[in-house]
Structure formats: structure tokens, C-alpha cells
A = this chain, B = another copy of it.
Amino acid sequence: MTATSQLTAEDLRQMGHAIRFLAMDAIVRAADGHPGTPLGGADIVTGLVSQQMKFDPKVPNWPDRDRFVHSAGHGSMLLYAMLHLAGYDKIDLEQVKSFRVLGSHTAGHPEFDIEAGIETTTGPLGQGITNAVGMAIAEQILNAEFGDDIVDHHTYAYTGDGCLMEGIAAEAIAIAGHLKLGKLVYLWDDNRMTDDGPTDQAVTEDQCVRFENNGWHVQSVDGHDALAVAAAIEAAKADPRPSMIACRTFIGFGIPRIQNDRAAHGGKIFVEDTDAARANLNWPHPAFEIPQAIYDNWHLAGQRGAAERQAWEARLAALPEAKRAEFNRRIAGDLPEGWEVAIHSVKQRMADGEARAGIRASGEVLAGMADAIPELISGAPDLEAATQHKRQLAPFTADDRSGRYIHYGVREFAMGAIMNGMTTHGGVVSVGTTFLVFSDYMRHTLRMAALMGIPGVFVFSHDSIGIGKNGPTHQPVEYLASLRAYPNMVTLRPADGTEMAEAWEIALSRKNGPTNIICSRQPLPPVRTGYEVENRAALGAYVLSDASGPRKATLLATGSEVAIALDAQKALEDEGIATAVVSMPSWELFEQQDKAYRDSVVGRGTVRVGIEAAVRFGWDRYIGEDGAFIGMTGFGASGAETDLFKHFGITADAVVAAVKERL
């Protein structure tokens, strides 16, 4: 990457001002928005984009582009103004003027849209810089496989103080430093001001020491000197460590009333402010009007990028056919031919009649798919043994980028955001696993995956009181409900190995949202016997075992409780009560079926009993207001698994009694 050396410091100053005025004019027009960041960070982004960043705005999805993550998402106009000036067609002047208007691409916070140059959704602080770690990991994984000619790009993340205060930042910084992600560069907008006021109100830590202590390369520059920023980026690229560049700036730079004041963070600005800024910065141009010479200077970077992109395409074309096809397949996010054969091979094995712990079954599926899907990357936050998803995979380390298992350390939140970053980067299929209770620690990353509409396989184990003696801190009771409440997410709780294989088939097929696979720790006796081609779990719920005659009762259950339902069915049928058992691995998929199917499955008009070792919340939709529910009414307890199921009354006897009481 050669810097765009023909631009002078004054050119760059004007280019930065172009960001500032587009941003402030858009914010005034929207009567809403955060002015502090775009005004303060304009020169940082100008230095990066004009001098260092590799991208072609006309081919925004060029796989080997540098990634730029605007982690301080509230300052979104910084990103939009830059994208507009740099030549991304999707962010035209109308979009800038439509900032925060319903239906625009210029939402209040940046929303994942590669065509628009937006590499990930940001706003919830700390996650953007962690997504960037994931992107840098994905780059290294693909680089190891396809070589420098095809995959060799940097990942830049623009961060404010807020992102760095969040706990997830510590996790991200630790992992990136530990893994020596040398192509990752953080640009810290060091403006010493947050919404509450000066950062010294809440921060004592020296950020430079902090990063150095985590193995990062650290520099400090004047953040209003774009050339200095660019030179620091050049030095960052030359260093083998991940780099943090502390760019000293003034928040709200240019508007005298708010500059270097907490009011700049998210406070309102008005036409009088933009007038004052125009006088202050000697910017005579009307609102939304950028002189062509400034546009021309902004477009130089994209033109340089276009040439690089063309050279890259030539290199790609020169690859052996199979290699090129493989690269293109991965980037397209298509699974390799033969993956269905592999999953059905696993499914056949799962029909062997053996009782497997849910998490073991899931691990066996992963083991069975790892060769078929070479881009499948697994990992866990220091629960390798308990979650059993390392299998034959070597670790991804600072020394070995061919590894496919990430030891995240005890850092759940970062794991989720890194997985999302790997996914938005493209080229990998990301699997992460931890205990279901710890999904709370990473919960917001699940939300971001659902909101972005990106896939991801989240395997959550130890799903109920079935874990036994570790006690209520480790026994989920409210989690299934809280996950099912999400839009655009599929949560599957398989009842046995066969449903587990089906859950994985569903998860791997999904392209537009994340999938949670909920696993027991205790063994699940098979509830389906024999191998079937059909993926019955894909219906969301289905009659697993029908009644012997006209149905009087319907038992609806998920996961480990399906076996209890079958036991209860046997007892009821023995007493002449025609009873059906419905397995409901995924409520979301069931909701996608037509009403006639749904009504027939849930057995409206029959006595309905929901059985799940979790709270009732949400179940009334399937069992009705008057249905019986056999499950938890509070938190669990520490004790032997079998004692706990009895103690909390989650037994076949209780189901039988509930049916008879209602008949």
C-alpha cells in the first residue's frame, strides 16, 4: 500500500472538514445525532482512508479489502460522510441528507451493509472493536489457506473511550494481543471526554500501558494531523503485533460552543452552530455542498484501490481452478458439496440406539462435519473438556494459523463478538460453545447476530437442573424463554442424537440469522429409532408418537423432557387414555408452519401438558391458558440430577396426574 503522497496537509485538512460539515449539516437537518465523534475524529479517518486503507468503493464486497469498523457507532455520521466522500454509491448525497429518516441507509447507528461499506452493526459499545478481532482472525485463517496473493488485508477499528471502558474491550485486547493479530489496528479517538464529562471522572488507567501490557504495539499522535495518523498506520503495519494508535483529538472540533465539552457527545446542535463552525474553520461552502476538488481528492484512494483490486482479480484468476472455486465458494458462504452426505452419515450413526449427552452428541456432529466443512471454526471460553467441541481440531494460535479451534480464555462476551466478526468478514463458519447459563455473558452478541441477519452456530450446553450438583448458579431456568423471545433467531433443543443431527443440519443451512443449539449434560435416551432422511426438527414441532385412538391428551415437550413425555404416554395409554407426544425442538420453526398444521400438532381441544425443565413463560401459546405445565417455577438447587427431577416434580407421574386431573 503506497500512501497517496500527492495530497498536502492542507488538502487533508479540507478533506477532514468535508466530513465535519457533511456530518454537522446532516445532524442539524435530522435534529438528532451525535456530533462529537464525527467532528473530532474526521482527521483520523481522513488519514486512514485517504492514505492507507485498501478498498474499492465501486466493488465494496471485494473480499480482500481492508475492513474498517466504526466501533463508536453513535458517531455514525463520521462513517457515512467518509463513505459518501470516498465514493460509495449507496451512500449518496440524498442518503446523507436523509440521516436518521425511516428507510434510509443512514440509520442512527451504522447497520451492517457491505454494499454501503458498513462492515458490521455498531452502537452497543465495545462490540465493534471485538468484531474487528474476529475479522482479523478470519483473515489469518484464510491467509493461511489461500496465501498472501489472495488474502492479505488489514482490519481497522475506530474506537472511543466508551468502547475501551466496556469489559469486552479487555477481553478483545487480551485475545488479539495473545494471538498476535498483527494486521489489526485500533485507532483510538483520545478526546478525553464522554457523555458524563471528562474521562478522568471514571478512568485512571493509562491506555497505552494497558495495550502494551497485552502485547500490542502502541503509538501516540496528534489526531488532528492526518499525515501523522497515516504515518503511524504505516508504522503499525510494519510491526508484527496488533497496533493501537492513540490519536489525541478534541471532541466536537470546530463548533466553538461544544468543542472539548461533554455537550458535544450527543447534545443537540443548531444552524447557529454550523454557522459558527463555518466561520471558525473558514469553510465558505453551503450546507451539503462539497467543492469538486475535495471530492476529487477523496476519490484518489478509491482509484488506487481499484487498481489494486484489479491486480488481485488477476491473481485470483491465475489460481488453479479448484483453488479458485474453493475460495469463491467460501466467500459466497456456500457449504461444500457433500456436506449433506456428511451430516446424514452422522445422523445414521446417531440412530444407533445409544444414549448420548446432548453436548456429546453435538460434539460428535461437529467431529463428523469438520472434514466435510473445512471452514468450520470451533471454540469455547475455557470449557474445552466440558463442551467437547475441540475434537480433532488443532488450536488456532499465534504460531499456527491453520488451527481451527480457538481457546478464547474465560471470555464469553468476546467469543460472541469475535464469532460475529468472523461471520461478517466471510469465508468461515463460526461455532462457539459454552454453558447455557453463561450465554448471558455474551447475550448481546446474539442480539447483534439476529439484528444483522448473519448466521452463527451457538452451542449452549448444561441446559437445565439436569446438570445436578453444580447447583442453581449453573442451572438455566429462564434461558429458553429469553432466547425464544428474539426475532430472527432459531433456538433448537434436541431430544436425542437424531434431533441433534437435524438441529445441526438446520443451523448450517441458515444464512440469515443465528442458531442456538441447546444441549443437555445428562444422557438423552433415543426418542427416535432408526434413521430417517426427513428432517423432522425442521418443522419446529411434530407428533413424535401418536395416540392409539382419537386423541384425548397431548404431551408437548422439548429436549430431555421428551423421554419423560414418552414414559407418561405409555402410562396413560395403559389406562386407556389416548395420548400423543409432540416433540418441539424449535418454537420459531414451528411458528413458520401453517395454522392447520400447528393446530393439529398441538392438539387443540385435547388436554394439553407442556413439559420442560424450565419456567412456563411462553408455553401458554401451545398449551393454552388452562393447559398444565410440568416444569420449574423458580431457580434450581444443588443435588443429584435424579433427586432434582423428583424434587421439582418433573416426572412422568406428575404428567399422568396432570392429565387425569383435567380429563
Contacts and interface: CB of A to CB of B under 8 A. Distances in A.
Contact of A174 (B165, B412, B487, B604): B165
Given A409-B165, A625-B624, A634-B488, A124 B437 contact: yes
Contact of A107 (B101, B384, B411, B471): B471
Contacts of A618: 481, 485, 617-618, 620
A202 B381 CA distance: 10
Interface string A465-480: 0001111111001100
Interface in A529-557: none
Given A204-B174, A213-B209, A410-B166, A383 B195 contact: yes
A108 B468 CA distance: 9
A474 B171 contact: no
A559 B384 CA distance: 44
B410 A471 contact: no
A54 to B, nearest CB: 28
A382 B195 contact: yes
Interface string A202-233: 11111001100111000000000000000000
Nearest to A397: B201
B478 A481 contact: no
Contact of A123 (B109, B473, B615): B473
A108 B443 CA distance: 25
A213 B202 contact: no
A637 interface: yes
B196 A382 contact: yes
A102 B177 contact: no
- Chain B CB count within 10 A is highest, among A196, A407, A451, for A196
A441 interface: yes
Interface stretch (A148-156, A246-254, A365-373, A638-646): A638-646
B481 A485 contact: yes
Contacts of A195: 382-386
Interface string A149-192: 00000000000011101111111001101100000000000000
Given A473-B109, A639-B102, A440 B437 contact: no
Interface in A114-154: 121-126
A472 B485 contact: no
A469 B410 contact: no
A443 B414 CA distance: 16
Interface string A304-345: 000000000000000000000000000000000000000000
Contact of A440 (B444, B468, B615): B444
A32 B469 contact: yes
Contacts of A440: 124, 443-444, 447
Interface string A591-605: 000000000000010
A172 to B, nearest CB: 9
Nearest to A207: B213
A408 interface: yes
A574 to B, nearest CB: 30
B384 A196 contact: yes
A206 B395 CA distance: 23
A102 B635 contact: no
The residue among A74, A167, A448 with the most chain B CB atoms within 10 A of its own CB is A167
A385 B385 CA distance: 46
B643 A469 contact: no
B382 A202 contact: yes
A10 to B, nearest CB: 35
Nearest to A101: B639
A167 B170 contact: yes
B639 A100 contact: yes
B472 A647 contact: no
Nearest to A643: B102
A141 to B, nearest CB: 18
A179 B175 CA distance: 28
A486 interface: yes
A450 B615 CA distance: 14
A637 B104 CA distance: 10
B482 A109 contact: no
A103 interface: yes
A100 B643 CA distance: 12
A647 B161 CA distance: 35
Interface string A512-531: 00000000000000000000
A45 B310 CA distance: 65
A460 interface: no
A458 interface: no
A88 interface: no
A403 B574 CA distance: 69
Nearest to A121: B473
Contacts of A644: 102
Nearest to A471: B108
Given A196-B384, A487-B632, 16 more contacts: A30-B469, A100-B638, A101-B640, A108-B471, A122-B473, A123-B474, A125-B410, A161-B410, A167-B169, A167-B411, A178-B203, A447-B478, A481-B481, A484-B617, A618-B618, A620-B625
8 contacts: A32-B468, A108-B470, A167-B168, A175-B202, A202-B410, A205-B214, A209-B209, A210-B210
4 nearest CB pairs, A to B: A167-B167, A102-B639, A202-B409, A170-B170
